[in-house]
Structure 1
Amino acid sequence: MSRPDTKGTPWYKQRWPWLLMAPPLVAVIAGFYTLKLAIQSWDGLVSDDYYKEGLAIQQRIDRTAKAAELGLAAWVQWNDGRLTLWFDPARLKIDPPHLITVRFVHPTQSGKDQQLNLVLDQGRYWAPLALPTMGRWHVIIEDESRQWRLSGTIVVPTEREELIQPIVPKE
């Protein structure tokens, strides 16, 4: 039995060195590609000051409890680039406020958040709204004086109405 003559063949013309180098080379290329993705799509922090957010939690709970006490529950509908919002008249214990603030908060990318000030018009609030991405959005509804707060989730786009009602945590 004779061995193949490898003395005259350079290393780069043999297949074994290339087969041994392929996995580390693929790992390095994948690492650079991952780095490129991370740099291009840096989303930042949802909240920069966690301590301040922690102190504000009780205030949010109190405002949500106030909304429950007032019987506030809002129906939200978003379709064809138009936001329509109205309060459930069966639950409402006060006159609907003339002006409300509605915030759409993206769960992971704070740069896509939007805020609208809506004025009451014939029992409903409406405004043109173009959300940059489809999917799940947090909706926060507040009155002008920030006495109460409703929050919930809506999936965009949708043809149906979504009910946003106060959910007060039990102690």
Structure 2
Amino acid sequence: MSHDSLPQGDDKPWYRHPYLWLAMLLPASAVVAGLVTLYIAIVNADSPVVDEWYKEGRGINRSMEQEHLAARLGIGLELSQVGAGIQARLVSETAIPLPENITVTLRHPTLADRDTTIELFQVDSNHYRADGVLPADGRRKATVTASGGHWRLYQTVITGDGTLQLGHVPAS
């Protein structure tokens, strides 16, 4: 058998064969898509709503006791947007000393960057004031705690109309 009878292949270099490039196209596109997905995941990373979820889960019994105490005392809070500030009225069905400061935390259910914390300061017996604005329309998990930390109000509220009521607030 002579060398002339063997099938002669193309004398083109490997990179000039179109079927080779076609076969490499699918794996190459998967690598590019993976890198694009990785970039999107890093740039648009979601922050956890609660960073220390384990500690917060363990503290649920303590917070439930604080919520039951607030219910037994008949504590309620009414927040309203007045101009560029927030006014609040704290009421209690039981005669208790009212705190000097109240912290109201309005947490968005899924987006941590939409969470709002309002620090209210006492201006007279049961009225409080803070600078800032109440959040726009939306559902929030509202938590109200006193500076002493003995009681706590926790409730889901709908924001947007400029007023919020938590707990039992009788008409004034």
Q: TM-score, normalised by structure 1?
A: 0.63
Q: CA 1:39–1:134 in structure 2 vs 1: closer, same or farther (change >3 Å)?
A: farther
Q: CA 1:130–1:76 in structure 2 vs 1: closer, same or farther (change >3 Å)?
A: closer
List gaps (5 residues or longer) in structure 2: 1-31
Q: Secondary structure at the match of 2:97?
A: coil
Identical counterparts, % of pairs:
26
Whether the 8 Å contact between 2:135 and 2:159 is mirrored in structure 1 is no
Report the CA distance between 1:75 and its aligned residue.
1.4
CA distance in 1, matches of 2:161, 2:43: 30
Q: Deviation digits for residues 119-141 of structure 1, max 9, x if unmatched?
A: 21133112122467542222211
CA distance in 2, matches of 1:162, 1:151: 13
CA distance in 1, matches of 2:108, 2:62: 22
Aligned to 1:97: 99
Q: Secondary structure at the match of 1:61?
A: helix
Aligned to 2:90: 87
Q: CA 1:165–1:132 in structure 2 vs 1: closer, same or farther (change >3 Å)?
A: closer
CA distance in 1, matches of 2:153, 2:106: 12
Q: Identify which of 60, 77, 98 aligns with 2:63.
A: 60
Alignment of 1:1-171 (within 5 A): 36=40, 39-78=42-81, 80-88=83-91, 91-122=93-124, 123-130=126-133, 134-159=137-162, 161-165=163-167
Report the CA distance between 1:99 and its aligned residue.
1.7
CA distance in 2, matches of 1:42, 1:81: 33
Q: Which amino acid aligns with 1:48?
A: D
Whether the 8 Å contact between 2:85 and 2:130 is mirrored in structure 1 is yes
What's the C-alpha RMSD, in Å, of the aligned pairs? 3.7
List gaps (5 residues or longer) in structure 1: 1-27, 167-171
Whether the 8 Å contact between 1:71 and 1:93 is mirrored in structure 2 is no
Report the CA distance between 1:86 and its aligned residue.
1.0
Whether the 8 Å contact between 2:105 and 2:144 is mirrored in structure 1 is yes
Whether the 8 Å contact between 1:78 and 1:157 is mirrored in structure 2 is no
Q: Write 1 or 2 for the structure with the bigger share of strand.
A: 2
